Structure 1
Amino acid sequence: MSTSRRRSLTAVATLALAAALVAPTPATAAERPSPGHRKAPVPTERYVAMGDSFVSGPGIERQLDGCGRSDKNFVRLVAAGLRVASFKDASCGAAQTKNYWEPQVVNGYTNPAQLDALDRSTTLVTLGTMGGNDVGLVQLATQCIAVGCSTLPPEQYTAAIDALVPVYRRVIREVRARSPRAQIVAVGYGTYVPRERCAALGNATEADLAYLQGMIDRLSDMIGKVAREQRIAFVDMRAIKGWREHTACAEPADQWIRGLNPYGDGIPLHPSTTGMEQMGAQALKVISPLVARRAAERRVKAAAASVRVRAVCSGPRRSRKVTIRTTGGKGLVAVASFRVGRQWVGTDRRAPFSVKRTARWVKRQTARGPVRATVVLRAGDVRLRTTVATPRPPCLR
């Protein structure tokens, strides 16, 4: 066996060991996200993150526990970027989809069933990455890099990926049952190997790399398809721009995904610290607008509850006038339309949102009924229509 061949196989052995999650140095740490990324104005979200090693961040310092959770993994960056009110990182290296429901023991460390991190107060959940360990993608990567894989029959992997469809549907149903208020976001896998071969990826040929990435893409496509079917958001990590300049074939400081040598920052074929930053930014592109919209929905809903309508009579008895005005709305009222009974009285699009009519004019043309104001409230692109009523004032009776 040649010297280069022995070196490659030794590196592959390192990859296989990392795939089983090399035990990081446990450390105690509070479940607080580290600072970074743009901030939302009000910390209201209660966030739970689930997933495997592409979420937890094994080998990236600082390691927090036996699951390989890093304080710099991308879900913590998402939590920091959103300034969440609470955060639970349930991810764990080497996790399979069964570990949504079952505890996982890794190097003597027990991670509870990931779904157990949820409760009825949870408002945001990221599912994944997850499924690669079910399919055996790490073992496939090991073979691709050691001896090649492009001639393998694909059915073993495609069938395993397709079998995960009902599992993803089930876990989404479970999240909805446990956390009915939660926004659910599925996360797909990224682009982990380049098109061209290089020494950092052992003996893998271009055909081997294409075969490996093709299976990763099929898994991500499946996750995205189920997400669309279930009407939840999907983060496609393959959409990260610039990855071709930051593969395992780049200089060590420029690698977003490590090759056989992780250089003390990550594990083989997993994200580096910088790669996690890129993943966090990509996730925030999808999640931040969802969180902002829900915050706006909460604002307009609270504002709508404060809207009132008043009808006041004024002036001499023979020429009495009635002024109908809205109050409240916390500055979010965009337009108000007024009726007495079934008769339209007027519309105002500028504060203080009121109309004035003579009492005789209104009385002569309207049926009996209360005074109503239909108000449209707006925060950003969120609009809410509400109607409030008050009894007819004396001058309209």
Structure 2
Amino acid sequence: MAAVLGAGVAVAALPAVAHTPVWDKPTGQGNGDVYVALGDSFTAGIGIQPERSDDTGCHRSTKNFPSLVAADLDVSTFTDASCSGAVVADLATAQRRGEYDNDAQFDAITEKTTLVTFGTIGGNDMGLVGLATDCVKGDCVPAAGTDPLAREFTQLRTDLTAGIEKVKELAPLADIVVVGYGIYLPKDGCPQNFFDLVTAEESNYLQGQIDRLSDLLAEIAAENDVAFADQRLIPGALDHTVCQWDSRQWIRGLYPEGGGDGFTFHPSSAGMKATAGLVAGVVRDLRGVEPEPTPKPETTPTLKPTPKPTLAQRKAELAKKAKAVKVAATCAGTKKNRKVVVKATTAKGGVTKVVLKAGGKKVVTDAKAPFTIKVKATTLKKKLKKKSSTLKAVVTVKHSGLSTSRTVTLKRPGCVK
């Protein structure tokens, strides 16, 4: 979805376009936040009119969710660095859009930045729109036992993790909210809405890959101790997929491009509004801030609600839960079938995942209670040949929307010494 130029017209590339704040209020105005939005066309709002007057081929809409979040939170400075067609690499390098070279999205971030929305991003890396097109044109479901996107998702994990780490480096004081993708298709889709060109099986595969991307973003957010906004959890999301029509669509299905309210398989202005409400809510929850209630006349005295724990209190409770985790490795089984049993226990609760590492490499992951891992002793012996090799357990603990990991070095049980 690159900018369309006149047929046969050669346009010389202009100098790289630096990021200019959409607004920068005078000192003392706004809530003090310096907000930067990063992302692709699902963030920029391609096809939603009006676009910003100074747009440089990125198709940034004035109604995209970052603009609505910035207005809702009353931020002091807002810079929209999102750009249609962006891949993760464009966060760190200049992106060509038509005749424009837009500066790397990270260039919009400074040490004064206090809020960053990271994404949506990654959909173009795994070819989301192309995959949807393939489903329309023909069978897009791969053969059983194959995963044509395995390499893309492996690379995405590395690149997205590095991206979040870079944001933390550039803006050490900023709150970061990673934004996942939404529900584009309900279970079994709606073949009749696509002239039976997209089958139920293809719809489930397509949404499955979108969910896979959102799950990856959620995992990376948790691993890096930043917030995650899951669009799939927006109330009513299933009632506003591509299978609806007109104004009910949060994600455009068969909708005329150029209609002024989003492109096919991209958000509409209504979808952007729903996403903005979610993201602004995540930011407020992250900071322990309650939205301003609508004033109502009171006829009788009411009890004040118990205040929610502050972010500092939630972090302190999370630290207690992580500290309370105990992990032990023991030997079990017969001499011919010796096994190492690794068990994570805690009286505080909150454990969501345990990763066993031997010699610095992951051996197995357990994401279900009671978090007991069993591994053949011979398998661990091979990975722990060197005396300096260590056996470790990385335990992920969650509490009140926050997540952290604790690494515990385990004493080698007798059967792997």
Q: Same fold (TM over 0.5)?
A: yes
Instruction: Determine which structure has more spread, i.e. the larger CA radius of gyration.
Output: 1
Please list, as runs of the form range in 1=range in 2, the aligned pairs for 1:90-109 lying within 5 A after superposition: 90-109=81-100
CA contact (8 A) 2:110 2:171 kept: yes
Q: Does 1:48 find its partner at 2:4?
A: no
Which runs of 5 or more structure 1 residues have no equivalent in the other structure? 1-19, 34-40, 295-378, 386-397
Task: Please point out which of 177, 192, 202 is paired with 2:184.
Answer: 192
Q: Does 1:172 find its partner at 2:160?
A: no
* 1:105 partner SS: strand
Q: 1:205 matched to which residue of 2?
A: 199
Tell me the CA shift for residue 249 of structure 1.
2.1
Q: 2:386 matched to which residue of 1?
A: none
Tell me the CA shift for residue 199 of structure 1.
4.4
Which runs of 5 or more structure 2 residues have no equivalent in the other structure? 6-19, 291-306, 314-417
Tell me the CA shift for residue 383 of structure 1.
9.5
Counterpart Cα distance in 2 of 1:269 and 1:192: 7
Counterpart Cα distance in 1 of 2:152 and 2:108: 27
Q: 2:141 matched to which residue of 1?
A: 150
Tell me the CA shift for residue 136 of structure 1.
1.1
Counterpart Cα distance in 1 of 2:157 and 2:311: 36
The one-letter amino acid paired with 1:224 is: A
Tell me the CA shift for residue 121 of structure 1.
0.5
Please list, as runs of the form range in 1=range in 2, the aligned pairs for 1:346-385 lying within 5 A after superposition: 381-382=309-310
Distance 1:383-1:75 versus aligned 2 partners, 3 A rule = closer
Task: Please point out which of 266, 270, 295 is paired with 1:270.
Answer: 266
Counterpart Cα distance in 2 of 1:237 and 1:131: 15
The one-letter amino acid paired with 1:80 is: A
Please list, as runs of the form range in 1=range in 2, the aligned pairs for 1:104-143 lying within 5 A after superposition: 104-143=95-134
Q: 1:63 matched to which residue of 2?
A: 51
CA contact (8 A) 1:60 1:266 kept: yes
Question: What is the TM-score of this pair, normalised by structure 1?
Answer: 0.64
Q: Does 1:84 find its partner at 2:75?
A: yes
Question: What is the TM-score of this pair, normalised by structure 2?
Answer: 0.61
Moved over 3 A (4+): 21-24, 151-154, 198-202, 291-294, 379-385
CA contact (8 A) 1:47 1:122 kept: yes
Q: 2:382 matched to which residue of 1?
A: none
Tell me the CA shift for residue 242 of structure 1.
1.3
How many residues are treated as equivalent by the alignment?
273
Tell me the CA shift for residue 173 of structure 1.
1.6
* 2:36 partner SS: strand
Tell me the CA shift for residue 255 of structure 1.
1.1
Identity of aligned residues (%): 40
Q: 1:222 matched to which residue of 2?
A: 216
Distance 1:184-1:384 versus aligned 2 partners, 3 A rule = closer
Tell me the CA shift for residue 290 of structure 1.
2.2
